Chain A
Amino acid sequence: ETGVTQTPRHLVMGMTNKKSLKCEQHLGHNAMYWYKQSAKKPLELMFVYNFKEQTENNSVPSRFSPECPNSSHLFLHLHTLQPEDSALYLCASSQVDLGVSSYEQYFGPGTRLTVT
């Protein structure tokens, strides 16, 4: 395993539900990421937390709300989703050192989300 866990692995929710995705990394990294992967589209970066501060929000609709309480945990809170939000949601972590070019990212297994 990669040292990044995600729960739940599968989630089916109605458009009026509220749910949360959880990610935990056991690698001592200081950056965490949420990605969305839809069929036939490139992996889309949604949010980045760097040293626990959100440094990236790629025009993600407000029905997705991230939370990073500490450097090991990352949540994605979901509410009033649309069917087109059905996708594989991937969490990743990496080490970020100032002034040093990027390192590899470690991914969790993903949460398969279906919005009905």
Chain B
Amino acid sequence: SQQGEEDPQALSIQEGENATMNCSYKTSINNLQWYRQNSGRGLVHLILIRSNEREKHSGRLRVTLDTSKKSSSLLITASRAADTASYFCATDDRSNYKLTFGKGTLLTVNP
């Protein structure tokens, strides 16, 4: 069954604005990961947040995790046209090797 569900499905913003994407999941997890995919290419890992962490930063990325609500958010600050891509959350369902991906959020950053 599908685990992560991203929201919104699509987001269009202007360069310089912040972009926030959300992910909800159903079962217990060890960690939650965010990936980015440029059109027709492979996924690139962005950030991993463990179930005992509430917030994590990496450059212009900020990820939060609320295990009580089974939700996570990805914030991209000061967006650039090069941030245009699809963003996926992935959960591990307490497996040490398997990830379940959502359908993704398509982010378009207009110059």
Across chains A and B, the number of contacting residue pairs, with CB separation under 8 Å, is 69
Q: What B residues does A102 contact at CB under 8 A?
A: 30-31, 92, 95-99
Q: Is the interface of B mostly helix, strand, loop or mixed?
A: loop
Contact present for A42 and B50 (CB under 8 Å): no
User: What 0/1 pattern do residues 82 to 116 of A give for CB contact below 8 A with B?
Assistant: 00000010101010111111111111111010000
Instruction: Give residues 52-104 of A contacting B (CB, 8 Å).
Output: 55-56, 88, 90, 92, 94, 96-104
Most A CB atoms within 10 A — which of B2, B43, B44?
B43
Contact present for B44 and A107 (CB under 8 Å): yes
Instruction: Give residues 67-96 of B contacting A (CB, 8 Å).
Output: 88, 92, 94-96
A43-B101, A48-B97, A99-B96 in contact; A104/B48 too (CB < 8 A)?
A: yes
B76: min CB distance to chain A, Å: 18
Tally of chain B residues near chain A (CB < 8 A): 26
Contact present for B48 and A45 (CB under 8 Å): no
Known A-B contacts: A42-B103, A42-B104, A43-B101. Give 8 more (CB < 8 A): A42-B2, A48-B98, A92-B42, A99-B96, A101-B50, A105-B99, A107-B44, A109-B41
Query: Interface on A for B, CB 8 Å cutoff?
Result: 2, 4, 6, 31, 40-43, 45, 48, 50, 55-56, 88, 90, 92, 94, 96-110, 112
Query: Interface on B for A, CB 8 Å cutoff?
Result: 2, 30-31, 33, 35, 40-45, 48, 50, 88, 92, 94-104
